[in-house]
Every structure is written in structure tokens, then in C-alpha cells.
Amino acid sequence: MTDFRQQFIRFAIENQVLRFGEFVTKAGRKTPYFFNTGLFNDGDSLRQLGQFYAKAILESGLQFDILFGPAYKGIPLVAAIAIALSDSGCNIPFAFNRKEAKDHGEGGDIVGAPLAGRVLIVDDVISAGTSVRESVDIIRANAATPCGVFIALDRQERGLGTLSAVQEVAENYGVPVYSIASLEILIDYLQRQPSMAQNLVEIQRYQREYGIVA
């Protein structure tokens, strides 16, 4: 396993973006952990988050021409990732959408570089896949091609059927989905932390109940 993925888990825990306890998901499931990239809410943590995304994107080897961040969480993400990629010698244009089209000034519902060629969508997590669906529609409406989706954490749990939300997106839109980390990587991290043994027990129980079949 690439070490930066373990570092990302530690980084998320230290910034209380990844929390342990008892939470309820949108699907009504009681989950022993909660992940919210909106809590990376200062300059230094956002800078580091962009660097983790950039490392994972470059490691994937995926070929793309532009980054796209769906409003609203995708907006700071796509800017931070573009800066981090530039620092790594990869200068890539980026764009994001407005929730409501602007009818004055430059107009339209896209801000940033024109959508063209192969577009990589960046978001925090995939729950119901709504923002990905909207992003794919926007990209195709601009005669561009969605080539992949990159998220921070893949929860690797079933949706309504046997597939996870991530797997459903990949199947429905024919695009690969990548992540910096996953539930599997989180479990591997916790197994190396004796002080977090109880968190590990609860998460493994949750995985047995709701996890996807590998």
C-alpha cells in the first residue's frame, strides 16, 4: 500500500474530519465513523488535502485534460488540487459550476476554463451519486467527455443492492472511480494503532453488515 494513503487517514483523524462514535447515514444506518471534508476549513489543511489528491491522481496514471469540481464542496477542492498538481509540474486547467446560471457578465453556469476534451470530476465522497450525475450531464452538454471521478474516501458499503455507490457510478456512467483512501485502508490503519482497538472492532462489525463483497 502506498504510504501516503495511510498518512491521509492520520491527517483526517488529526483534523477531526474523520471521527469515531455513533452517527446515522443518509440511508438511516448507524455507522461508527463519520467523514466530512468540509471540516478541512483553513488554508493549511486545504493545501495538504490538495496535495493528497494530487499524489493519488498522479499515481493513478489517468489521462485527462481538465479538472471539474461540482458545486459546492467541489469548488475549493478543484482549486486546491490544481495548485498541488502545478507544484508537481503538471499544470492543468480547472472549472466548476454555479448552482444557478448567471444571466449577466460572462453568463452561463460554468466558471473557469472551458470544458473540453477529457474531464476528471473531483468530489469528496459519493453517497447517492447525485453530484456525479449532474456533473456528467454538464460535461456532456458542453461536448466534453467525463473520463473519471476522484474522491477522498470510498466507504465501500452497499447501496440499495449489492453494489456500492461508487460501483454504481462506475457502472452507470462507464467511468472509473478512484479514491485517496477507502474503508479497507482505514481498517488497515486502525490495525496498526493499539489505542484504537475498539474503533477497529466497531468498524469491522459495520463492514460485515454493510460492506460490499470483494
Strand partners, 30: 24
Supply the pLDDT for residue 161.
85
pLDDT digits (tens, 9 = 90+) for 49-79: 999 999 999 999 999 999 999 998 999 999 9
Domain-wise residue ranges, the chain:
3-210
Residue 103 pLDDT class (50, 70, 90 cuts): low
Residue 8 has pLDDT above 90, yes or no: yes
Q: Which residue of the set 30, 55, 99, 104 is catalytic? A: 104
30 is catalytic: no
- Tell me the mean pLDDT in the region 147-167: 92
Low-confidence winner among 19-23, 45-49, 166-170 (lowest mean pLDDT): 166-170
CA 96 vs CA 105, 122, 202: distances in Å: 17, 10, 38
In the chain, % of residues over pLDDT 70: 94
Which one, of 18, 94, 91, 95, lies nearest residue 49 by Cα?
18
Residue 107 has pLDDT above 60, yes or no: no
Is residue 122 within 8 Å of residue 79, measured between CB atoms? no
C-alpha span between 92 and 82 (Å, rounded) = 6
Vertex 191, ends 161 and 127: CA angle to 5°? 30
104 is catalytic: yes
Looking at 3.40.630.10, 3.40.50.2020, 3.40.50.1820, 3.65.10.10, the CATH number of the domain 3-210 comes to 3.40.50.2020
Backbone angles phi and psi of 27, in degrees to 5:
-80, 0
CA 57 vs CA 7, 47, 66, 181: distances in Å: 16, 15, 12, 12
Rg (CA), the chain: 17
107 exposed, middle or buried (CB, 10 Å; 0-12, 13-18, 19+)? Answer: exposed
Residue 100 has pLDDT above 90, yes or no: no
- Tell me the mean pLDDT in the region 98-122: 81
Residue 115 pLDDT class (50, 70, 90 cuts): very high
Residue 19 has pLDDT above 90, yes or no: yes
Residue 127 pLDDT class (50, 70, 90 cuts): confident
Low-confidence winner among 15-19, 69-73, 79-83, 149-153 (lowest mean pLDDT): 69-73
> For all residues of the chain together, what is the average pLDDT?
92
Vertex 147, ends 59 and 60: CA angle to 5°? 10
Q: Model-level pTM?
A: 0.93
